[in-house]
Amino acid sequence: MSASFCFNCGKNIPDKAKFCPFCGEDLSDIAKGAEEKPAEIVEDAEDAPKEIKTEKKKESWDKYFTLLEPGSEFQGYKILRMLNKDVEGIKYVVEKHGQEYVLTIYNRSSFENVNILFALQMKLAQVKQIRDEQMPKVAEVQSSRELTYTVFEFVHGTSLENIKKHNPEYLTEEMARKMALRLVDTALNIREYGLTLAYLNLSGIMQKEDGDYRILFSGISYEDVDEREDVFAIGRLVAQMLTPTITQSLYTESRLKVAKFMHVPGVTVNLNKVLAEALHRNITHRYTGLEKMREALVALPPIEGSELSVLPPEALSDESKKTDIKMPKRKPEIGFWVLVITIL
């Protein structure tokens, strides 16, 4: 039995719910429809008149906002399994002609907000035109107010976020330098289409089984942002890749935006200098663009024989202040004891 999700916000809802407990969407029509008898067998699509086929197709969209079972069909793709579900939509691993893909069916909340809908449609329109080695190949994009979905090449591998969590020793400076250069090239490429990597996270970068990288579609955005924000994002990703667990809180985006950058311990001083300029909290003090950052990365001397940065003492002292629990000072309650003595 498939689980039900709100077609407005995408969150899990109780069976036969008349409204969504999260966004308040009226679901009475859907609940009523679910109790009705099963639909009659539809005539062969090839024999049906074009107008009737279109009407029946629109009426059937609602079923795609509940979980599709493995083995079921969607627009010619066979559902293998659900990959995940988030605020964007429901993602499945699907198969067609022996090839695996990632299918994303977008939540209806994307259609209600004009700004979100416009950004999504522009993003989809531009992505179809991009040819970039670091991005999965686009198989199909469908965008309408009734149903919006994308089909991309399925990337077999592991996200850098998972590698960081379970096998951080695999994330070396040599790897980070190569990845940074590729991210710069991709950022330059997609900016020509009005897209940006400014909000990309380690979870949006997959390391393939052959060691190559792919930037997931969810990791890019359609937004007109300053190029120096892309510079900042790439610097942030490199710092987050290489920082030890004990200092990872120093390299969150929110902290880097307001605090002075501290050298990542165990990383060469040369690379840290590049990161320091890319991650300057004052945007006017960063590299003026991606090309300048690329030049700095290419000019880096070899890692072997280079001086390594050490953990700055103030980094740990800042963290320890958060864990020190200072008990409030208690003053002698003189007035209370004077009162007790007087009564006695």
Q: What is the mean pLDDT of each run of 10 residues along the chain (344 residues)?
A: 57 64 58 45 40 42 70 94 86 95 85 74 83 87 82 93 94 96 96 94 92 88 94 98 90 93 95 98 96 98 94 59 43 54 58
pLDDT score at 272: 97
Q: In this structure, which topology does domain 157-311 adopt according to CATH? A: Transferase(Phosphotransferase); domain 1 (1.10.510)
Joined tokens for residue 104: 């994303």
- Report the alpha-carbon distance of residue 293 to residue 18 in Å, rounded: 54
Quote the pTM value: 0.72
Q: Which homologous superfamily does the CATH classification assign to the domain defined by 63-153?
A: Phosphorylase Kinase; domain 1 (3.30.200.20)
pLDDT score at 2: 43
What region, left, alpha or beta, does residue 98 occupy, with left being phi > 0 and alpha being psi -120 to 50 degrees? Answer: left
- Report the alpha-carbon distance of residue 213 to residue 151 in Å, rounded: 19
Domain ranges of the chain: 63-153, 157-311
Neighbour-count burial for 259-279, b at 16+ CB within 10 Å, e otherwise: eebbbbbebbebbbebbbbbb
pLDDT score at 316: 61
Alpha helices (H) in 140-211, listed in sequence order: 160-166, 173-191
Angle at which helix 269-278 crosses helix 290-298, to 10 degrees, equals 180
**Locate tokens 């009734």: which residue?**
146
